[in-house]
Chain A
Amino acid sequence: MNKWMNLCFIGMLAFASAALAAADLEINTPAITALKNTMQARHGQLAPHYASGAVGLTRDGNVALRDASSVPLAARQSVNGLVADENRDRAGLYREIARANGHPEWEAEVRSTFAQRWIDKAASGWWVQNAGGAWVRK
Chain B
Amino acid sequence: MSLRGISAQLTLSAPSKLDITIAQATLQGREWRKLALYCPDARIERDLIECRRGLLDVGEKFPLTFQYRPGARSLALTLFPESTERWQAQLLWRGDNLAASLEVKNGKAARLNPWLPEQSIRFNQGVIDLTGKLEWGVQARGKLDVSATLRNGGFSDAAGTRAGEKLAGTLTLQAVRADTWRWKVSTAWREGEVFWQPFYIAPGERRLSAQGSWQDAQAVVDQAQLEWAGIGTAQLSGAWNRAAGRIEHLQVAAKSLALDPLYRTFMKPWAQDGVLSKLTLSGVADGAITFKQGALEEANLVIRQGGLKHEEKMFGLAGIDASLAWQQNQARENRINVSSGFVGKLPLGAFSVRATLAPDRVSVAPLTLPILDGALTMEGVEAQRENNDWRWSLSAALQPISMQRLSQALQLPAMHGTLSAVIPQVIYARQSLTVGGALLFKVFDGAVVVTDLRATDLLSPTPHGYANIDMRNLDLDLLTRTFSFGNIQGRLDVAVNALELFAWRPVKFDAKVASSPGEYPRKISQRAVENITSLGGAGGTAALQRSFLRFFDQFGYERIGLSCRLERGMCEMAGIEDVPQGYLIVKGGGIPALSVIGYNRRVGWEELLARIQRATQGGKPIVQ
- Co-assembled chains A and B: yes
List A residues at the B interface (Cβ < 8 Å).
28-31, 33-35, 54, 65-69, 71, 73-74, 76-77, 80-81, 84-85, 88-89, 92
Residue contact A73 to B165, C-beta cutoff 8 Å: yes
Contacting residue for A84 out of B156, B194, B273, B464, CB 8 A: B273
Assembly CA distance A76 to B200 (angstroms): 8
Residue contact B502 to A81, C-beta cutoff 8 Å: no
| B160 contact set on A, CB distance < 8 A | 54, 65, 67-69, 71, 76
Contacting residue for B568 out of A30, A69, A92, CB 8 A: A30
| A28 contact set on B, CB distance < 8 A | 568-569
Q: List 16 A-B contacts (CB under 8 A).
A: A28-B568, A29-B568, A30-B505, A30-B507, A31-B464, A31-B502, A34-B505, A65-B160, A66-B159, A67-B160, A68-B159, A68-B195, A73-B165, A73-B195, A76-B200, A88-B460
Which of B425-467 touch A at CB < 8 Å?
A: 460-462, 464
Beyond A73-B200, A74-B202, 17 additional contacts (C-beta under 8 Å) are: A28-B568, A30-B605, A31-B464, A31-B502, A34-B505, A54-B160, A65-B161, A68-B161, A68-B163, A68-B195, A73-B164, A76-B197, A77-B199, A80-B197, A80-B198, A84-B272, A85-B272
Assembly CA distance A63 to B94 (angstroms): 62
Greatest chain B CB density within 10 A among A31, A35, A81 is at A31
Instruction: Given the known inter-chain contacts A65-B161, A68-B160, A74-B200, please indicate yes or no for A33 contacting B195, CB distance below 8 A.
Output: no
Which of B233-272 touch A at CB < 8 Å?
A: 269, 272
Residue contact B462 to A34, C-beta cutoff 8 Å: yes
Residue contact A74 to B193, C-beta cutoff 8 Å: yes
CB-CB nearest in chain A for B198: A80
| B273 contact set on A, CB distance < 8 A | 81, 84-85, 88
CB-CB nearest in chain A for B568: A29
Instruction: Tell me, yes or no, whether B503 is within 8 Å of chain A by CB.
Output: yes
Assembly CA distance A71 to B464 (angstroms): 35
What is the size category of the interface that chain B forms with chain A? 20 to 34
The smallest C-beta distance from A136 to any residue of chain B, in angstroms, reads 15
| B1 contact set on A, CB distance < 8 A | none
Instruction: Tell me, yes or no, whether B158 is within 8 Å of chain A by CB.
Output: yes
Assembly CA distance A29 to B506 (angstroms): 11
Residue contact A65 to B200, C-beta cutoff 8 Å: no
Assembly CA distance A80 to B271 (angstroms): 12
Residue contact A81 to B462, C-beta cutoff 8 Å: no
CB-CB nearest in chain A for B158: A67
| A31 contact set on B, CB distance < 8 A | 462, 464, 502-503, 507
CB-CB nearest in chain B for A31: B502
Contacting residue for B195 out of A76, A81, A85, CB 8 A: A76
The smallest C-beta distance from B186 to any residue of chain A, in angstroms, reads 26
The smallest C-beta distance from A122 to any residue of chain B, in angstroms, reads 19
Instruction: Given the known inter-chain contacts A73-B193, A80-B272, A85-B273, please indicate yes or no for A30 contacting B502, CB distance below 8 A.
Output: yes
Q: Closest 3 A-B residue pairs measured CB to CB?
A: A68-B160, A84-B272, A30-B507
The smallest C-beta distance from A42 to any residue of chain B, in angstroms, reads 12
CB-CB nearest in chain B for A77: B200
CB-CB nearest in chain B for A80: B198
Assembly CA distance A54 to B160 (angstroms): 9
Greatest chain B CB density within 10 A among A35, A66, A73, A88 is at A73
Assembly CA distance A39 to B428 (angstroms): 29
| B202 contact set on A, CB distance < 8 A | 74
Which of B63-77 touch A at CB < 8 Å?
A: none
| A73 contact set on B, CB distance < 8 A | 163-165, 193-195, 200
Which of B171-228 touch A at CB < 8 Å?
A: 193-195, 197-200, 202
The smallest C-beta distance from A26 to any residue of chain B, in angstroms, reads 12
| B161 contact set on A, CB distance < 8 A | 65, 68, 76
Residue contact A35 to B156, C-beta cutoff 8 Å: no
Assembly CA distance A74 to B166 (angstroms): 13
CB-CB nearest in chain B for A99: B464
Instruction: Given the known inter-chain contacts A67-B160, A73-B165, A77-B198, please indicate yes or no for A92 contacting B507, CB distance below 8 A.
Output: no
CB-CB nearest in chain A for B507: A30
| A80 contact set on B, CB distance < 8 A | 197-198, 269, 272
Assembly CA distance A28 to B569 (angstroms): 9
CB-CB nearest in chain A for B124: A69
Contacting residue for A92 out of B199, B462, B505, B569, CB 8 A: B462
| B194 contact set on A, CB distance < 8 A | 73
Assembly CA distance A73 to B605 (angstroms): 45
Which of B272-311 touch A at CB < 8 Å?
A: 272-273
Contact with A along B104-123 (1 / 0, CB 8 A): 00000000000000000000
Assembly CA distance A88 to B274 (angstroms): 11
Residue contact B462 to A65, C-beta cutoff 8 Å: no
Assembly CA distance A69 to B269 (angstroms): 19
The smallest C-beta distance from A81 to any residue of chain B, in angstroms, reads 6
CB-CB nearest in chain B for A73: B195
The smallest C-beta distance from B449 to any residue of chain A, in angstroms, reads 26
Assembly CA distance A88 to B460 (angstroms): 9
| A34 contact set on B, CB distance < 8 A | 462, 502-503, 505
